[in-house]
Structure 1
Amino acid sequence: DQKLATDMDMAIAKLKATEMLAMVADEALQIHGGMGLMSELPLERIWRDARIERIWEGTSEVQRHIISRALLRPLGG
């Protein structure tokens, strides 16, 4: 009996991954200071990509809405 991921499972995974990526990229940028935004370092691209990932294929707010809708569905919500 194979269980498939639900919409809520996918929303949780995407939300957690994108939020963690953003947090790690922001911390790395803080550690490197102004040098972190220099195009010579890969951190600049990673930080920029982390910002985009929060928007790509559904913003974090949309993912939270999907999760809350799935949690409230059994309650008639």
Structure 2
Amino acid sequence: MRGTVRSAFWELRCRLLRAVVADDGMSTVEYAIGTVAAAAFGAILYTVVTGDSVVSALTRIIDKALNTSM
């Protein structure tokens, strides 16, 4: 009986150590952080591109390209 308790204890201890040390969820966390960073970069890029200076610069470039004479 005593051997059974001891083996059950060691098995439980090994399972707990594996659960604490395991890093199976790391890839999920890395993808989540990458997704949040990409969304933040997209929001910043959208803010810059839709700003007045960028829109007016693009409008001038397009007008100049369309109004050139050959």
Q: TM-score higher than 0.5 here? A: no
The structure whose RCO (Cα within 8 Å, separation 6+) is larger is: 1
The TM-score bracket by the shorter chain reads: 0.3 to 0.5
TM-score by length of structure 1 reads 0.37
Between structure 1 and structure 2, the one with the greater Rg is: 2
TM-score by length of structure 2 reads 0.40
